[in-house]
Amino acid sequence: MKNRFEHKDWVLVVDDNESTVEINKDGETRVYEIKEKILRSEQDDEYPMYVDVFVEGGNYYSFKFEDENALIGDIFNENEEYVESFAQYYFGEENDYEEDDIKEYEDEFDDYEFDDFDDWLSCVINENP
C-alpha cells in the first residue's frame, strides 16, 4: 500500500510493501529504505510539515520539511524519546557541488572519512565533519 502526503511543494510517498519513503521536492527525488516493517504512516494535522512512519518494534521515523529546502529525519522510540538522526538533506544544493570536490574537502579533515556524498555535503554545509 502507498500513502501520499503533501506539504507546500513537498511530496512524500510511503510504500509499505517496499519499506521505502520517497520524497520529491522541485524535481529532485530522495528514497529512504526503512529497515523495519512499516505499520502505518500519518501526517500531523496541526503541524503538516511532519510525517511520521511507524514501524514494528515501537519506533517511528519522523520526517520534517523545513523552509530553505531542508529535510530532517529523526528516529524516536515508543515513548517519543529521540533515538538518532538518519537524514539531513538540502534539496537543490547537490547540484552546486561535484563528486570530485569530496577529495579536496576531505584533505582538510585527514582524520575523517566520508561515508558518501550526502555525508560530505552535510559537512560542507555545516562547515565541519
Cell (9 digits) for 32: 529512504
Q: Say if residue 101 is in the same domain as residue 51.
A: no
Q: Which amino acid is at 19?
A: S
Q: Cell triple for residue 104?
A: 579536496
pLDDT at site 92: 84
Ramachandran quadrant class, 92 (left: phi over 0; alpha: psi -120 to 50; beta: rest): left
Structural domain of 87: 2-92
Please check whether residues 69 and 107 belong to one and the same domain: no
Instruction: Decide: pTM greater than 0.85.
Output: no
The long-range contacts involving 117-122, CB below 8 angstroms and separated by at least 24 positions, are 118/89, 121/89, 121/90, 121/93, 121/94, 121/97, 122/88, 122/89
Low-confidence ranges of the chain (pLDDT < 50): 95-100, 102, 128-129
Same domain? For 78 and 106 the reply is no
Confidence at residue 64, expressed as pLDDT on a 0 to 100 scale: 97
Residues 54 and 85 in one domain: yes
Q: What is the tally of structural domains in the chain?
A: 2
Indicate whether 64 and 106 sit together in one domain: no
Single out the residue of 45, 50, 81 nearest to residue 63, CA to CA.
50
Q: CA–CA separation, 59 vs 77, rounded Å?
A: 4
Check whether residue 71 and residue 122 sit in a common domain.
no
Same domain, 85 and 101: no
- Cell numbers at 102, concatenated: 569530496
58 and 33 share a domain? Answer: yes
Asked if 68 and 116 sit in the same domain, the reply is: no
Are residue 84 and residue 103 in the same domain, yes or no?
A: no
Confidence at residue 97, expressed as pLDDT on a 0 to 100 scale: 47
Identify the pLDDT of residue 129: 45
